Amino acid sequence: MKDTILWLQLQPRRKPDRNCLYSSIKDIKKWTKRITQLKIRDQEARFYSLLVEVNGLDLSVNERLAFLESLHQPVVDLIDHLSKTYIGSGLPLAEDKSKYVLRVNSLWSEMTTAYKIIIDDLSESSFFTSIIKQKDLACALYHVLFYLSGQLYSNYTLYSASTENVWRDIHQVFHFASNRKLDNRKIDAKISPKLTILDLYKKVLLFSLANPYHLTILEMKTTWEHLDDWSGLSELNLNSIQVLAKKYPFLIQAYSDRAPFINSLNKMNTKTDELNFPSVSSTSVWGLNTKKLIKRLAKKNKYPDIISNYLIKRLSCSWSGNSDRLENRKELIEPVVIALGVSCISQFLSQIDIKPKILKLNASEIQKLELTPAMYSLYQAYLIDESKNGFRLKLSRHTKKAILPNIGEVIAIKHVDNGVHIGFLRWMRENTEAEIEFGIEYLSAMAEPVQLTKGSDKQFTSRHNPEKLNVLDSFVFPGGKEHNFKPILFTHTFVEKFYNIRNDHLVLHHKTGSINIKLIQKVDEVLGCSLYLFEKASID
Mean pLDDT across the stretch 382-409? 76
pLDDT of residue 59: 93
| Position with higher pLDDT, 432 vs 524 | 524
Q: How many domains in the chain?
A: 4
Mean pLDDT for the stretch of residues 125-145: 76
Looking at per-residue confidence, does 452 or 31 come out higher?
Answer: 31
Rounded to whole angstroms, the Cα distance separating 455 from 467 reads 18
pLDDT of res. 172? 94
Residues 432 and 454 in one domain: no
Res 417: pLDDT? 63
Distances (CA, A) of 54 to 21, 28, 110: 9, 12, 10
Does any domain span residue 282?
yes
Q: So what's the pLDDT on residue 47?
A: 95
177 and 115, same structural domain? yes
Q: Which domain holds residue 482?
A: 448-536
How far apart (Å, rounded) are the C-alpha atoms in residues 241 and 177? 21
Question: Does residue 313 sit within a domain?
Answer: yes
Indicate if 60 and 175 belong to the same structural domain: yes
Give the closest residue to 378 by CA, choosing from 407, 408, 406, 400: 400
Per-residue pLDDT at 257: 92
pLDDT digits (tens, 9 = 90+) for 304-362: 556 777 788 888 988 998 766 555 555 667 788 888 877 778 777 876 454 433 334 44
Residue 271 confidence class, pLDDT cut points 50, 70, 90: low
Other Cβ atoms less than 10 A from the Cβ of 38: the count is 12
> What digits encode the pLDDT tens for the residues 458-494?
444 444 443 343 445 788 888 877 788 888 988 875 5
User: Do 293 and 230 touch, CB atoms closer than 8 A?
Assistant: yes
Q: Is residue 242 part of a domain?
A: yes
Measured CA to CA, the distance from residue 377 to residue 372 in angstroms comes to 10
Q: Name which residue leads in pLDDT, 330 or 422.
A: 422
pLDDT at position 464 is 41
pLDDT for the residue numbered 356: 39
Q: Decide if 90 is inside a domain.
A: yes
**Angle of the 95-121 helix axis to the 61-83 helix axis, nearest 10:** 160
Entry field: residues in the chain:
540
One-letter amino acid identity for 155?
N
Measured CA to CA, the distance from residue 176 to residue 119 in angstroms comes to 10
Q: Choose among 279, 290, 292, 283: nearest CA to 252.
A: 283
Residues 348, 308 share a domain: no
Q: Which of 307, 325, 343 is the last residue of a domain?
A: 325
One domain, residues 34 and 120: yes
| CATH number assigned to the domain comprising residue 427 | 2.40.10
Q: Are residues 184 and 43 in the same domain?
A: yes
Helix (H, G, I), strand (E, B) or coil at 462: coil
56 band by pLDDT with thresholds 50, 70 and 90: very high
Other Cβ atoms less than 10 A from the Cβ of 514: the count is: 17
How far CA 527 is from CA of 407, 408, 442, 492, in Å, comes to 9, 7, 17, 9
* Cα–Cα–Cα angle for 162, 180, 67, rounded to 5 degrees: 65
Three-state SS letters, 504-536: CCEEEEECCEEEEEEEEEEEEEECCEEEEEEEE
Angle at 388 between CA 384 and CA 394, to 5 degrees: 20
Name the DSSP class of 407. Answer: T
Q: How confident is the model at residue 117 (pLDDT cuts 50, 70, 90)?
A: very high
Q: Is the pLDDT of residue 150 over 70?
A: yes
Please check whether residues 166 and 310 belong to one and the same domain.
no
CB neighbours of 154 closer than 8 A, spacing ≥ 6?
83, 101, 104, 105, 108
Strand 513-526 and strand 474-478: the pairing is: unpaired
Could you count the other beta carbons within 10 Å of the beta carbon of residue 47?
Answer: 21
What's the Rg (C-alpha) of the chain? 28
So what's the pLDDT on residue 469? 39
List Cα–Cα distances, 537 to 450, 505, 518, 531, in angstroms: 17, 8, 5, 18
Residue 27 pLDDT > 70? yes
If you average pLDDT over residues 263-270, what whole number do you get?
Answer: 66
Does some domain include residue 225?
no
Please enumerate in sequence order all residues whose Cβ is within 8 A of that of 258, keeping only pairs 6 or more positions apart, or say none.
Answer: 167
Question: 474 pairs with which residues across the strands?
Answer: 450
Report residue 71's pLDDT band, with 50, 70 and 90 as the boundaries: very high
**Which of 145-149, 358-362, 427-431, 519-523 reaches the highest mean pLDDT?**
145-149
Is 210 within a domain? no
> pLDDT tens digit string along 495-532?
665 555 555 678 888 777 888 888 888 888 777 778 88
Q: What is the pLDDT of residue 52?
A: 95
Same domain, 454 and 472: yes
Q: How far is CA 116 from CA 120, 225, 376, in A?
A: 6, 26, 48
Q: Identify whether residues 463 and 426 lie together within a single domain.
A: no
Domain's final residue, options 170, 192, 214 = 192
Average pLDDT over residues 53-77: 93
pLDDT at 450: 83
Q: What is the mean pLDDT of the chain?
A: 79
Are the CB atoms for 397 and 377 separated by under 8 Å? Answer: no
- Please check whether residues 432 and 471 belong to one and the same domain: no
Is residue 171 a contact partner of residue 254, using CB atoms and an 8 Å limit?
A: yes
Average pLDDT estimate for 182-187: 87
Check: CB of residue 138 under 8 Å from CB of residue 159. Answer: no
Contacts of residue 327, defined as CB under 8 A and 6 or more positions apart, other chains included, come to: none
Cα atoms in the 13 Å half-sphere on the side-chain side of 65: 18
* pLDDT-above-70 percentage for the chain: 77
Single out the residue in 409, 444, 479 at which a domain terminates: 444
pLDDT of residue 272 exceeding 80, the answer is no
Whether 202 is in a domain gets the answer no
> Per-residue pLDDT tens for 188-233?
777 667 889 999 999 999 999 998 887 778 888 889 999 999 999 9
Q: Is the pLDDT of residue 124 over 70?
A: no
DSSP string, 308-322: -HHHHHHHHHHHTT-
- Same domain, residue pair 27 and 172: yes
Residue 385 pLDDT > 90: no
Query: Residue range 88-105: average pLDDT?
Result: 80
Task: Check residue 372 and give its pLDDT.
Answer: 44
Output the CA torsion sign for 150, 154, 156, 161: negative
Consecutive H or E run containing 478? strand 474-478
> Residue 433: pLDDT above 70?
no
Q: What is the pLDDT of residue 306?
A: 64
Q: What is the pLDDT of residues 351-364, one digit of tens each?
A: 645 443 333 444 45
* CA gap 173, 148 in Å, rounded: 10
* pLDDT of 64 over the 80 cut: yes
pLDDT band of residue 235 (cuts 50, 70, 90) is very high
- Measured CA distances, 500 to 337, 496, 509 (Å): 38, 8, 19
Using DSSP, state whether 448 is helix, strand or coil. strand
The pLDDT assigned to 248 comes to: 93
Question: Given pLDDT bands bounded at 50, 70 and 90, which one contains residue 78?
Answer: very high
Judgement on whether residues 383 and 452 belong to the same structural domain of the protein: no
pLDDT of residue 197: 94
pTM tops 0.85: no
The pLDDT value recorded for residue 132 is 61
> Is residue 46 a part of any domain in this protein?
yes
Q: Which residue has the higher pLDDT, 495 or 99?
A: 99
